[in-house]
Amino acid sequence: MSARYEELKGLKNLGQKYAYTDREVMLYAYGIGLGADPMDENELAFVNEGTFTPRPLKVVPTFASVAAWGSGPGEMNLNRVMVVDGERDITFHQPLPVAANITADSSVLEVYDKGKDKGVVISHQTVLKNEKGEKLATLVASRFARGDGGFGGPNLTQPDPHKIPSRSPDRTIDIVTRPDQALVYRLCGDRNPLHSDPEFAKKAGFPRPILHGMCTYGITCRGVLQTYADYDASAFRQHVARFSSPVYPGETVTMDLWKDGNVISFEAKVKSRGVTVIKNGKTVLG
């Protein structure tokens, strides 16, 4: 077994401490576009706590993806310019509180070496827990390091993704992103200059900064919230998406959704460029 494979597979970081308040909760919701209509009470519930008629602030389920921003199994020593998000799978064990002190336990699950010049996919898990040690959410992420393959890892096959139904979508919705959306979303934690620095983006092979993949992921959660979840954040049990192409801030994201019992399948595209940006999406409601 290669030493590099063993090094990556053995990464683990337990008991990482984080805290967040309603400020971070509202910023995340605004960062994925909620609240664009200041008169929409359904969306305001995620970005405003109410004054004359108090109401509890709601937490977008995928806020879990930034609640412990910076947590992870350890330094992977990858070529940062060539790293992109591959997939995200969050299981929600209980609704996230509006403010909390939490811990994060992170470990690498598997390493898929695709070969020289083909990159490597690293799958890792982070479990968020409250102060009582109860699980809040389990996040499984895969990152595709395009410049780091070929170190002799085992020949493993990644699990098959969720299959989208072959019938026509049950619903289709358009979600508009703002030209400055990446500049807002980065304040949730992800300061990767790929999303804010035109020069950096060009060196990475893009004509201009792209929207964070995890912002697009949050947008798909928003799409399910407004269609099949009736804006009930506590209904989410799982939210999975595979990233296939970037969104540029200002573009319109079109979501196709299929409902089969408590499982919502979805894909997302940018029609103006004829590209699919999210594949094999799945939300489990309960």
Catalytic residue set: 190, 195
Cα(23)–Cα(255) distance, integer angstroms: 28
3-class secondary structure for the chain?
CCHHHHHHHCCEEEEEEEEECHHHHHHHHHHCCCCCCCCCHHHHHHHCCCCCCCCCCCCCHHHHHHHCCCCCCCCCCCCHHHEEEEEEEEEECCCCCCCEEEEEEEEEEEEEECCCCCCEEEEEEEEEECCCCCEEEEEEEEEEECCCCCCCCCCCCCCCCCCCCCCCCCEEEEEECCCCHHHHHHHHCCCCHHHCCHHHHHHCCCCCCCCCHHHHHHHHHHHHHHHCCCCCHHHEEEEEEEECCCCCCCCEEEEEEEEECCEEEEEEEECCCCEEEEEEEEEEEC
Beta partners for residue 285, in sequence order: 236
What is the rounded CA–CA span in Å between residue 245 and residue 253? 12
